[in-house]
Amino acid sequence: MGVADLGLPVDVPSTALFTDHYELTMVQAALAAGTAERRSVFEVFTRRLPEGRRYGVVAGTGRVLDAVENFRFDADVLNFLRERAAVDEATLEWLASYRFSGDIWGYPEGEVYFPGSPILRVEGSFAECVLLETVILSILNHDSAIAAAASRMASAAGDRPLIEMGARRTHELAAVAASRAAYVGGFTSTSDLAAGFRYNIPTVGTSAHAFTLLFDTEREAFRAQVNTLGGGTTLLVDTYDVTEAVRAAVEVAGPELGAVRIDSGDLLLVAHRVRQQLDELGATNTRITVTSDLDEYAIASLRAAPVDAYGVGTQLVTGSGHPTASMVYKLVARAGSADADAPLVPVAKKSSGGKTSVGGRKWAARRLDDHGVAEAEVIGTGRVPQELQDRLLQVQLVKGGEVVAREPLDVVRDRHAAARAGLPLSATQLSRGEAVIPTEYV
């Protein structure tokens, strides 16, 4: 069993305060009104994809399951709420025994989604479901945004490996989540040791410019690194003069030098020159890794360059210009009373302003064309057409409050690769456009 199978808790005793104040005041008012126990259905979806994106990537589901399991109002949390007079004593008493006991269905992590896709469906009493809104959205919005950027970068990179190295560009805990999401989207390793420890993601790293600057000469720095890490290491060659550094690197490590890293300059031009120089020096198997503020467009521009791997930081952990997936969590159905047998009534916001929603508990399926390529995201609230029965996307994640679908991260990563491969070829284009397949309501 790997670390990713363990469902490790977050770094706090409880996730209950990863929420907004009004979630608790809604529970207080609903308890007083006698509507808190009405059976309810909430759904997570996005009304539109970020501008220019052709598909979204579901990421963070595993972290959501951990957060739901750890959503507990312990004594310290309750005392904090009491001191702030956030809610009344009756509500605090109800919160003290809170345990999510409902069901959660959703797109399996790594799957792609489109506008309107019911990515997650949370069912239970109104009170127990509404409390989870903020923590669920905070995880899915962040991780899905990072995974979408990672997926685009992986498409641009083709079969060349990608290293996630953005920990120093974001919050320390966000960095761990970003590493996980990047791995889902197609990255192969991370520089962040916490992510390696938490999720068993391969970690890599050798040296920075500071290490070279520590020594009196670049050659001495290279020799110290090779003596410690071996000739298969990666030497950073752009601290001073790249041409001289490459020559020194091969002389110190020999023609079996593992790789050189270029972190500045005109990467396309420098990569070609370095490749030529390495070959002339007999280091024909030495790889070239490039870093330096890369995004999917820069990676695509280097497609014809002799580059063997990419390291990406800032643009990845900020979603490459789209740091959120803009998902929302909306009540779409609720019972007319607290009676367990009361039928569900579809509900939806109808006001103007572009924030309307579609009521009713939804199913989703992906229709394929004659070549097995996705041609539409089909969403409905009634009977599922026979021809779509085996194309349903949602799976049960939580049953009666118990997690039933925790998965190793490699399974999620492979699922995303397969899902992306099942989309029309235009999904991988970096040019701006609408969702690669339409959403149809039936």
Write the secondary structure of the chain as one string of H (helix), E (strand) and C (coil): CCHHHCCCCCCCCCCCCCCCHHHHHHHHHHHHHCCCCCEEEEEEEECCCCCCCCCEECCCHHHHHHHHHCCCCCHHHHHHHHHCCCCCHHHHHHHHCCCCCCEEEECCCCCEECCCCCCEEEEEEHHHHHCCHHHHHHHHHHHHHHHHHHHHHHHHHCCCCEEECCHHHCCHHHHHHHHHHHHHHCCCEECCHHHHHHHCCCECCCCCHHHHHHCCCHHHHHHHHHHHHCCCCEEECCCCCHHHHHHHHHHHHCCCCCEEEECCCCHHHHHHHHHHHHHHCCCCCCEEEECCCCCHHHHHHCCCCCCCEEEECHHHHCHHHCCCCCEEEEEEEEECCCCCCCCEEECCCCCCCCCCCCCCCCEEEEEECCCCCEEEEEEECCCCCHHHHHHECCEEEEECCEECCCCCHHHHHHHHHHHHHCCCHHHHCCCCCCCCCCEEEC
12 confidence band (pLDDT: 50, 70, 90): low
Q: Is the pLDDT of residue 9 over 70?
A: no
Higher-scoring residue by pLDDT: 331, 11: 331
pLDDT, averaged across the chain: 95
Q: Is the pLDDT of residue 164 over 90?
A: yes
pLDDT the model gives residue 239: 97
Does the pLDDT value for residue 4 go beyond 90? no
**Structure-token pair, residue 364:** 């989703």
pLDDT surpasses 50 at 6 = no
Class of domain 163-319: alpha beta
Percentage of residues in the chain having pLDDT higher than 70: 96
Residue 438 to residue 442: CA distance in whole angstroms: 13
Check residue 5 and give its pLDDT.
47
What's the rounded Cα separation, in Å, for the pair 413 and 408? 9
CATH of 3-146+322-359+393-441, one of 3.40.50.300, 3.40.50.620, 3.20.140.10, 3.60.10.10: 3.20.140.10
The answer to whether 3-146+322-359+393-441 and 163-319 have equal CATH topology is: no
Read off the pLDDT of each residue in 74-99 and give the average, rounded to a whole number: 97
A 10 A CB-CB count for 190 gives: 28
What pTM does this model have?
A: 0.94
Q: Which of 180, 178, 137, 183 is nearest to 15 (CA)?
A: 137
Q: Is residue 105 within 8 Å of 129, Cβ to Cβ?
A: no
Residue 10's pLDDT band, with cuts at 50, 70 and 90, is very low
Query: How sure is the predictor about 56, in pLDDT bands with cuts at 50, 70 and 90?
Result: very high
Please tell me the distance from the alpha carbon of residue 255 to that of residue 238, in angstroms, as a whole number.
Answer: 19
Task: Give yes or no for residue 282 having a pLDDT over 60.
Answer: yes
Q: What is the mean pLDDT of residues 63-89?
A: 96
- Of the chain, the end-to-end C-alpha distance in Å amounts to 42
Domain locations along the chain: 3-146+322-359+393-441, 163-319
pLDDT of residue 353: 67
Q: Are strands 309-312 and 56-57 parallel, antiparallel or unpaired?
A: unpaired
Residues 6+ apart with CB under 8 A from 22: none
Chain centroid to Cα 202, Å, comes to: 17
Reported as a single tens digit per residue, the pLDDT across 198-250 is 999 999 999 999 999 999 999 999 999 999 999 999 999 999 999 999 999 99
pLDDT confidence of 340, banded at 50, 70, 90?
A: confident
Is pLDDT at 2 greater than 50 in this prediction? no
What would the pLDDT profile of 352-391 be if each residue is shown by its tens digit?
666 778 999 999 999 999 999 999 999 999 999 999 999 9
